[in-house]
Amino acid sequence: MGYESVLCVKPEVNVYRIPPRASNRAIRAADWKLDAPDWTGRMRVTARGKVAYVKLEDKISGELFAQAPVEEYPGIAVETVSDSSRYFVLRIQDDNGRSAFIGIGFGDRGDAFDFNVALQDHFKWVKQENELSKQAQAPDTTPKLDLGFKEGQTITLNIGQSKKKERSRPQSSGGIGLLPPPPGGKLAPPPSSRSTNHNTQPPAGGSDTGR
């Protein structure tokens, strides 16, 4: 719960006081005093759980100047401006929950890009974690139905059909092949051979006794 990971560190960022915003007007960095920043220091983007923190710190001592807790991005805690990719609006908060809006800017577009991607990647991870937790809460419906079909109907039906096919084939072929030969081949020849032997013997004996 208390572990804090570092998502991004930039050695220099400028802070600007910004005029009150008009609700119907886009935020423009050109309205700030870009040539005279009100503070310059280091930025660290960290994460504790699902919340990211944009921390503005002194370059040398590391003392915290201000921080902005970020619970979603894009969102009210970190906003882009309409006229540049190097400037953002932060909603900073103190320990008492009081908030204020300030402008921040990077001298290099690459630093601004890294800051943007660090927040985007963190909240992609948050989204995936939320989806996984939702799936884990109700995973019981589909898996149980699948297991029931696998254990019951399909396996028993396949086994029964294969056994019936294997048994029916040898019985039919064996019955047809074995029955016809015996009466035609084995039983008929013996009586014919015996009858011929009886017919040949009497004439031979008759001739001897016929004198």
The pLDDT score that the predictor gives to residue 21 is 81
The pLDDT score that the predictor gives to residue 142 is 56
**Cα separation of 90 and 76, whole Å?**
8
- Per residue in 134-168, pLDDT tens? 888 865 555 555 555 555 455 555 545 555 555 55
Residue 132 backbone phi and psi in degrees, to 5: -65, -40
Confidence of residue 169 (pLDDT cuts 50, 70, 90): low
Residue 181 has pLDDT above 90, yes or no: no
The candidate with the shortest Cα–Cα distance to 90, out of 4, 10, 17, is 17
Distance between first and last Cα of the chain? 134
Burial of residue 165, with CB atoms counted within 10 A of its CB: 0-12 exposed, 13-18 middle, 19 or more buried: exposed
The pLDDT score that the predictor gives to residue 57 is 98
DSSP character at residue 18: -
Q: CA-CA distances (angstroms) from residue 108 to 102, 121, 160?
A: 19, 20, 74
User: Per-residue pLDDT averaged across 92-114, rounded?
Assistant: 96
The pLDDT score that the predictor gives to residue 22 is 77
Domains of the chain (ranges plus CATH)?
4-137 (2.30.29.30)
Strand partners, 113: none
Percentage above 90 pLDDT, the chain: 56
One DSSP character per residue, 149-189 reads HHHTHHHHHHHHHHHHHHHHHHHHHHHHHHSSHIIIIIISH
Strand partners, 56: 43, 66
- Per residue in 186-196, pLDDT tens? 445 555 444 44
Asked if the peptide bond before residue 182 counts as cis, ω within 30 degrees of 0, the response is no
Angle at the Cα of 15 (from 24 to 65), degrees rounded to 5? 120
User: Per-residue pLDDT averaged across 58-70, rounded?
Assistant: 96
The pLDDT score that the predictor gives to residue 47 is 97
**Cα separation of 54 and 67, whole Å?**
5
Confidence of residue 125 (pLDDT cuts 50, 70, 90): very high
